[in-house]
């Protein structure tokens, strides 16, 4: 019998919003675990699984956006992993919906293992990237943005109203 999926700092990637979303994924997997344990039926388990899949898509979109904006060098490979999981779970959902497969502890085990390995292996990479060089790049972007705003404001102050006509 599987145990509850417990969050620890070991899973933190150092980005507050990502960590918060990872915790939500843990909670959804735990809800699915409880529903299976309590034999709540395929309808309830299916609803939780659908919620988990939908939230995973939202989470992947945020991760991919951060990686793209931050020029994370392993962006393409990371996106492929996300796509492969979504396709695998969608195929599994179709089997569940058609009655070919039941939601079980094996599915739960698969989801937990995938999430754990993905966070500890792949997500930690972009966390480190942003903490190190990526964060420095972001500082330069913020500095440049602030400098641009200041220049624009100075130019606005120097203009006379009649120069627009």
10-residue stretch averages of pLDDT, the chain, 165 residues long: 82 94 95 92 88 93 93 94 90 83 84 93 92 60 53 54 41
pLDDT confidence of residue 146: 58
32: CATH? 1.20.120.50
Residue 148 included in any domain: no
Residue 145 included in any domain: no
Residue 159 included in any domain: no
pLDDT confidence of residue 102: 81
Residue 151 included in any domain: no
Contacts of 93 by beta carbon, 8 Å cutoff, 6+ apart: 46, 49, 50, 53
Residue 140 included in any domain: no
Q: What string of DSSP letters covers 20-60? A: HHHHHHHHHHHHHHHHHHTT--HHHHHHHHHHHHHHHHHHH
- State how far the Cα of 50 lies from the Cα of 40, in Å rounded to an integer: 15
Residue 84 included in any domain: yes
In which domain, by residue range, is 36 found? 14-131
CA distances from 36 to 16, 25, 108 (A): 30, 17, 9
Residue 146 included in any domain: no
pLDDT confidence of residue 165: 39
To the nearest 10 degrees (0 to 180), the angle between helices 105-117 and 16-37 is 170
pLDDT confidence of residue 54: 92
Dihedral (Cα; 10, 17, 25, 48), 10-degree rounding? 170
Residue 92 included in any domain: yes
What is the count of structural domains for the chain?
Answer: 1
């Amino acid at each position: 019998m599987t145990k509850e999926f417990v969050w620890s700092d070991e899973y933190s990637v150092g980005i507050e919003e990502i960590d918060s979303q990872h915790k939500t994924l843990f909670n959804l997997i735990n809800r699915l675990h409880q529903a299976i344990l309590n034999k709540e039926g395929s309808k309830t388990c299916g609803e939780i699984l659908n919620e988990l899949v939908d939230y995973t898509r939202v989470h992947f979109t945020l991760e991919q956006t951060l990686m793209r904006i931050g020029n994370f060098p392993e962006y393409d490979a990371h996106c492929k992993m996300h796509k492969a999981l979504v396709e695998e779970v969608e195929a599994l959902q179709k089997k569940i919906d058609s009655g070919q497969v039941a939601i079980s502890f094996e599915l739960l085990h698969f989801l937990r293992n995938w999430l754990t390995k993905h966070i500890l292996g792949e997500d930690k990479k972009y966390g480190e990237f942003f903490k190190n060089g990526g964060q420095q790049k972001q500082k330069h972007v913020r500095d440049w943005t602030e400098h641009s705003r200041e220049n624009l404001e100075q130019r606005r102050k120097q203009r006379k109203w009649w120069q627009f006509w």
